[in-house]
Structure 1
Amino acid sequence: MNRRDILLGTGGLLASPFVAPSVRAQGRTEIQFWYGLGGALGERVAEQVTRFNESQSRFRVNAAFRGSYVEVMTGAIAAWRAGTPPHIAQVFEVGTATMMAAGPAIRPTHELLGEAGITLDPKRYLAGVRGYYSDTQGRMVSMPHNSSSAVMWINLDAFEKAGLSTTELPKTWAEIRAAAQKIKATNAAEMPISTAWPTWVMFEQMSSMHDVGLATKANGFEGLDAEMNLGAPIFAKQTNMLLEMQREG
């Protein structure tokens, strides 16, 4: 692998090689891998790398936590420009299109696997996953690794303190808002509701559930000239509701 290629990976994907020559140490080919997962997930990545290194004697992966998703992506690009990129980088979903359009900076996964004589059936992955990381011909450009799913966590202690049912839980946004209002009114929790990655959680998930495009051009898959569809009634309604909830505290 040439040191000038990056192998991509995103929150769910491993980036296609930044062309970078591998270094041999103690008879092993050294592979530099940058990732952006901290906490428990970062520990799982470290365990995976350790298991791989211990399972064979030809290669050694040197895994390095390089900060947030954005820091990994921008750092890998900067390193490529300086001629010292990692062989593999984990790039989050939002950066997928950026890396796919990076031209000579990356090596598409399907090319790398072909050169190594490895066959990978993309259908092993869920359609929604493989579609995100494939080109228009259905070829895997990057490798799914840590694809995320949105999960709603409910503080049952706060629900009980607010006099809310701990068995019949909210199923709609209206019910969530009503529960948050009750929690605030009773001081059952300091913060009635919060979220991480609001665009992904509050809009992309809704877009998928209601089958309403978040952008034109099949959400950008059919061309780089796609435009956001946030003016659609469902997104306008969601935005107004979130703004009202913010004003309510």
Structure 2
Amino acid sequence: MPLSDEQVRETTIPEGKNQLKISDGGGLYLLIKPSGRYWKLAYRFDGKQKSLALGVYPAVSLHDARDKRATAKAMLADHVDPGQVRQQQRRRQMGAAVANEQELINQAQEQTTTDMMQAPPPDHQQQPHPLSRSAQLQLEERRLRILQIIRDANGYIANELNVQQLLDEVGHRISFDRLRTDLAWLYEQHLVYLQTDTLWVIHLTRQGLELVDGRIWVPGIRRAEPVL
């Protein structure tokens, strides 16, 4: 039976289990984990069972996931593996991220006065108080969400207003000061570049893209689900 928006939004993991799958039919299902809700498509190609990641709810809605299922099914009807198409897209995206990163480096080298961030905000340099385990996990999850938001933005570029709004939509309501502290930390890990004018603009680096796609991991941020 097809899923409803309410089921997608409110279904929880049964006690004693660490995840739950709920199916929408046609191979599309929502994988519910403590870390989030992930759309997946199960399909067969050349006699092999495969799985395709379609995005994270609520950034990808039920309607969006069904559209992606339809697109993948159309590829399969033409004997095209949507997983292979995804890998090709990722390689092109990686190339775009590398080009964007090099352009930013060149701009910084050419400018005598640059608005690229040279140091984190003063409050970031203060010695932080130790966090509880739950607070640390929330912080690591939020840092990953920030990178996912930038990854999904056009050209791997987003401004802090958009990032804050989208964080709020997925349950991370924070102040601009807190967001800028998070961004400064991501900058120090070489996961983003920052243009720190009145409104901060964030660029995803090649390393940031690799992390958010689950190919690498950096301590202090939740490990991303690999993108197939």
The TM-score normalised by the length of structure 1 is 0.25
Bigger strand share: 2
Flag the structure with larger Rg.
1
Relative contact order (alpha carbons < 8 A, sep ≥ 6): 1 or 2 greater? 1
